[in-house]
Structure 1
Amino acid sequence: MINKNHVEITIISWGATIVSLKYPDKFGRIADVVLGFDDLKSYTNPRINPFIGCVLGRCANRIKNGCIVIKGKTYQLTRNDLDKHHLHGGTKGFGQRLWDSYIDDCSVVMTYLSEDGEEGYPGALLSTVRFKLTPDNRLEIGIRATTTDFTIVNISHGSLFNLAGHDTGKKELIKHKISLNCDRWTFADYTDPIPTGSIRGVGGTIMDLRIPKFLENCIEKVPPGEGYDHNFCVTPNWHGGSTYVARAIHPESGRVLEIYSDQPGVQFYTGGRLLTDAASEIDSNIVVKQSNNLNREEDKEKTLTIDQMEQDAIAESPSFLLGKQSARYVKHCAFSIQPQNYPNAVNYSHFPCSILQPGEIYCHDLIYKFGIQLANYM
């Protein structure tokens, strides 16, 4: 999709993924501002692609221990977050599925039928995602879903942005100025990202991003120093509908991104887990278990040799993720702002309800608005 202002967006049907998003800066120089890969093989490999640019579902974010209870019945979902929690729909969530697609006037429409029991979820879920690029530089993402049984639904989109250019790394990311329209956050202990159920005010804390802040002044102050990966509570507007959620600006290029949504929360993530999620695969011929038979001296020598080879392989493993156009994606090289329901909402009665019933329609209207700021007035 391309408009008269030279905003160009490329989407593929694998995971309904945005693979490229280009638009000019204040000098007219066009750059791609989302992380991605050059080939489909990388997108389809979940060990390399940790939810980059794709739809997040059937339930975005984390569910504690992957366990949910709906109408008195317990369901065990896939545990794909450190083998402990359920994250972004599981190992084969919406971002690792092939969606049907078609063109509808000026929109691209993606649909996917998630079968009953997929990743442990009850009920079949039919989801539709409509992408529309408008003349005023808005990417409108309309998400709808219906179900055959009581289930949980929380769908968002996971594009990772760097407004200086996808390949400019942490050096440019920390120059971004970020503001969130959020006066509270769902408290989580830094040792576990799952919310405790407590909702706290952001005032006087590192979580207060109501006034724009440069990431270089706060990203390493978030305990335990890994940057932001937290859910904030969006301050609602009085008339309902879509609400202003967040604003990001890269002053040197002048590129501005504003986000609007009708969801109660937003996950703000600064890429601290990028390399952890996309762990490098070490040659399986090197990483082997120690021999069960250590009685003979030669077995001991072989084991010591294997251990040393394993240590060398780990030491030499790359500290970056190889992206499109040979870009090296490092830790804290991009940010993601994902409007959604609160994490683990199904297990807290005072969190917004995430259960969808048969006959109901799940709706999420998400808007990315791209602009240019010619001068810094702040």
Structure 2
Amino acid sequence: MINKNHLEITVISWGATIVSLKYPDKFGCVADVVLGFDNLESYINPKINPFIGCILGRCANRIRDSSIVIKGTTYELTKNDFGKHHLHGGTKGFGRQLWESHIDGCSVVMTYLSKDGEEGYPGAVLSTVRFKLMPDNMLEIGIRATTTNSTIVNISHGSLFNLAGHDAGKEELMKHKISLNCDRWTFADYTDPIPTGSIRGVGGTIMDLRVPKFLESYIVNLRKLQVPPGEGYDHNFCVTPNWHGGNAYVAQAIHPKSGRVLEIYSNQPGVQFYTGGRLCNTSETGNNSASAYNDSSNHEEEYKEEKAVDEMEQDVAPEGELQKFISGKQGARYVKHCAFSIQPQNYPNAINYSHFPCSILRPGDVYCHDLIYKFGIQLANYM
């Protein structure tokens, strides 16, 4: 998709993934501002790709102990985070499936049917994602889902941005100004990123991002991070709703040097703000990731997976060691804290807290998430 302002977006049907997003800076220089890979093999290899650029679901974010209770019945989900929690729908979640796709006028529409019992979830879920690039540099992502049985649905999108360019690295990320329209956050302790159930105000804390500030003023340096739990931001914030309902302003990111600006709007109650602190720790725990990878047989496109693992061995750290970087597009090396992600969604682990917004989708209801990325240029810095 491309518009008259030279904003160009490329999506693929594997995981409904945005693989590139190019647009000019204030000097007219075009750069790709989202992380990604040059080949399909890297996208389908979970040892290399930690949910970069794809749809996150059936339930985005984490579920404590991979266990949910719906109508008195307990369901055990795939454990793929810290050996005990459930993350982004599991090892074969929405971001690791092949979606049906077609062009509908100026939109690209992708559809996926998640079968009853997939990754442990009850009910079959039919999901549709519509990507539409507008003339005013807005990318509208409309997400809809229906189910055959009561289940949890919380779908978002996981693009990782660096407005200086996907290969600009952590130094340029620290020069981004970030602001979130959030006055509360779902508290998580230092050792576990899953909310405890407590909701706290951000005022007077490192979580107060209501006024635009450079990331480097929050993350002092990469040896000693101010932000808990020691890996930079990977926290859920509570979006301040607008008075008339509908889509609310969620966040803004500015890279003053290039002038690129990203604004995000959504109708979801929360937003996960992530600064790439776990980017290179891509091996999934709990279920053996290699086993889960090789057992995938749902689509013809996965027949090359074993070959892909062999070809990509140079990009994967030896067992027991953490990767120093991920090999990305055009030879780029994606290191820790080289990009950020702002993912509007429901609160993490909402199914297990009655005072969190309800995440249960019932038969006859339609899940609706309208997500908007608005791209612009700031010619001068007025703040």
Provide TM-score, normalisation by structure 1: 0.90
Q: Which residue of 2 aligns with 1:66?
A: 66
> Which ranges in structure 1 are unaligned for 5 or more consecutive residues?
285-311
Partner of 2:305: none
Larger Rg: 1
Q: CA deviation at 1:368?
A: 0.1
Counterpart in 2 of 1:287? none
Change (3 A) 1:372 1:225: same
4+ runs deviating over 2 angstroms: 312-318
Q: How does 1:166-315 map to 2 (within 5 A)?
A: 166-219=166-219, 220-278=225-283
Equivalence for 2:362: 357
Measured after TM superposition, the shift of residue 223 of structure 1 is: 2.0
Kept after mapping to 2: 8 A contact 1:9/1:20: yes
C-alpha deviation, 1:213, in angstroms: 1.1
CA–CA separation in structure 1 for the residues paired with 2:138 and 2:234: 25
C-alpha deviation, 1:171, in angstroms: 0.7
What TM-score results when the alignment is normalised by the length of structure 2?
Answer: 0.89
Deviation string, structure 1 residues 122-145 (Cα, Å, up to 9, x no partner): 000000000000000000000000
Aligned residues: 347
Partner of 2:295: none
Partner of 1:136: 136
- Using the TM superposition, give the Cα deviation of residue 9 of structure 1 relative to its aligned residue in structure 2, in angstroms: 0.1
Considering only aligned residues, what root-mean-square deviation do their CA atoms show, in Å? 1.4
Q: Name the counterpart of 1:113.
A: 113
SS of the residue 1:325 aligns to: helix
Of all paired residues, the percent bearing the same amino acid is 82
Instruction: Decide whether the 8 Å contact of 1:49 with 1:278 is kept in 2.
Output: no
| CA deviations over 1:262-286 (Å, ceiling 9, x no partner) | 000000000000011258xxxx9xx
1:337 partnered with 2:337:
no
Task: For 2:372, give the aligned amino acid.
Answer: I
Q: Quick check: 1:15 aligned with 2:20?
A: no
CA contact (8 A) 1:278 1:321 kept: no
1:328 maps to 333
Whole-Å Cα distance in 2 between the matches of residues 86 and 224 of structure 1?
Answer: 19
Residue-by-residue CA offset, 1:214-248 (whole Å, 9 max, x unaligned): 00010221023310000000000000000000000
Task: Write the distance in 2 (CA, Å) between the matches of 1:169 and 1:321.
Answer: 12
CA distance in 2 between partners of 1:119 and 1:358 (Å): 19
- Give distance in 2, aligned partners of 1:315 and 1:229: 23
Matched, 1:95 2:95: yes
Is the 1:275–1:320 contact (alpha carbons within 8 Å) kept by the matching residues of 2? yes
Any conservation in 2 of the 1:77–1:119 contact (CA below 8 Å)? yes
> Aligned partners of 1:218, 1:212: CA distance in 2, in Å?
11
C-alpha spacing 1:313/1:368, structure 2 compared with 1 (3 Å): closer
Check conservation: 2:280, 2:324, Cα contact below 8 A. yes
Structure 1 position 369, deviation (Å): 0.1
Once the two structures are overlaid, the 10-residue window that deviates more, 312-321 or 168-177, is 312-321
Residues 181-217 of structure 1: CA deviation (Å, up to 9, x unaligned): 0000000001011100000000000000000110001
Specify the SS of the correspondent of 2:281. helix
Deviation at 1:315, TM superposition (A): 9.8
Instruction: Answer yes or no: is the 8 Å Cα contact 1:185–1:200 preserved in 2.
Output: yes
User: Cα–Cα, structure 1 residues 351 and 374, in superposed 2: closer, same or farther, change >3 Å?
Assistant: same
CA distance in 2, matches of 1:245, 1:29: 27
SS in 1 for 2:52: coil
1:147-162 paired onto structure 2 within 5 Å: 147-162=147-162
Unaligned runs of 5+ in 2: 220-224, 285-289, 291-316
